[in-house]
Structure 1
Amino acid sequence: MNLKAVIVTIIGVILGAVAGYLYYKYVGCITGTCVITSKPLNATLYGALIGGLLSSSFIKKEKK
């Protein structure tokens, strides 16, 4: 992995974490029984995971 790939992945993780928290804050779960969106930590970590996976999928692999 080169530096550009690491930076893109970190940016994706940060943006995903922010999006996960905003989803918790504005949409959330009214009843509190939702596994992911019932707590801000869960929503933030899930968003960070998805953001990291999505951003790393846009990195082009180098040809040998």
Structure 2
Amino acid sequence: MKNISLRISDLEKQHLDEFCRITERTQSDILRQYIRSLAIKGVLNPLDYPGSHPNTD
């Protein structure tokens, strides 16, 4: 598994923290879900399909 360092504003961090609190999920869970939801050139991301990538959770 890889690590990513991300710089965000204080307001963005507060928003993420509140979202995590409300949904009772970790920041990593939220960000991984968002990454999986990204489209590539207007098509579904291959990570949306279980088993299509060796590192899916």
TM-score under structure 1 length normalisation: 0.30
TM-score under structure 2 length normalisation: 0.32
Larger Rg: 1
Structure with larger RCO (C-alpha < 8 A, sep 6+): 1
Larger helix fraction of residues: 1
